[in-house]
Structure formats: C-alpha cells, structure tokens
Amino acid sequence: MPSISRSEVEHLARLARLAVTEEELDLFAGQLEKIVQAVAKVGQVADQDIPPMSHAVPLTNVFRSDVVRPGLTPQQALAAAPAAEDGRFRVPRILGEEA
C-alpha cells in the first residue's frame, strides 16, 4: 500500500483551506497513512458470511411509557397569551395572502 506523500497532504490542506506548517505536513502524512491502513483492515474483515447491519449491538427502545397527566384547559392556556381569537393564539401575519 503506497504511503501518503507530503505533497498529497499539502494538496488536501490547500483544498480544505488549512494553514499547515512544514512539520505538520510530515505529522499529518503519518497520521493519514495510519487511518488509511485501519480502514483497509476493516475492509478485509467484512466477509460474505457476515450479514450487513446498521448497528453493532441490538437497539432497544429507551423511551418511557406514555402516561396521561392532567394538562391545561384551552382557557388556561390562552389566559397568558398576548392575543387570542376564536379559541386560538393570535400571531402576526407572516404571509401576504390568505391561506
């Protein structure tokens, strides 16, 4: 597997508009090479016997059960509103036409 060159790192940095020092070019080249190698290993592990999956562990529902609790009546909800009309909150018009 070919290693990532300084010129390739410099090109990537230029595309990403990153200011990179000469020392960072060498450092990033080594780091990117390790990342590419790790991704290649993952590609080798995948086999035809392993079914594709979206998650490594089974997902379970973490939501609590719905519990009915008393809420506000429409009159209580509208009592603190700056403006109400026909049992609804009145808000400023944002469109120029009738909906």
- The CATH number of whichever domain residue 24 belongs to comes to 1.10.20.60
Judge whether 25 lies within some domain.
yes
Judge whether 30 lies within some domain: yes
40 occurs within a structural domain: yes
26 within domain boundaries = yes
Residue 96 is assigned to a structural domain of this protein? no
State the pLDDT at residue 44. Answer: 77
Residue 87's region, left for phi above 0, alpha for psi from -120 to 50, else beta, is left
Q: How many domains does the chain have?
A: 1
Residue 28 belongs to some domain of the structure:
yes
CB contact burial 21-51 (16+ within 10 A = b; e otherwise): eeeebeebbeeebeeeeeeeeeeeeeeeeee
pTM: 0.44
Residue 33 maps to a domain: yes
Residue-wise pLDDT tens digits, 44-94: 776 777 777 788 888 888 888 889 999 999 999 999 899 999 999 999 888
- Print the domain residue range for 22: 6-45
Query: Poorest-confidence range of 19-23, 24-28, 31-35, 46-50?
Result: 46-50
Strand residues in 21-96 grouped as ranges (E): 84-85, 88-89
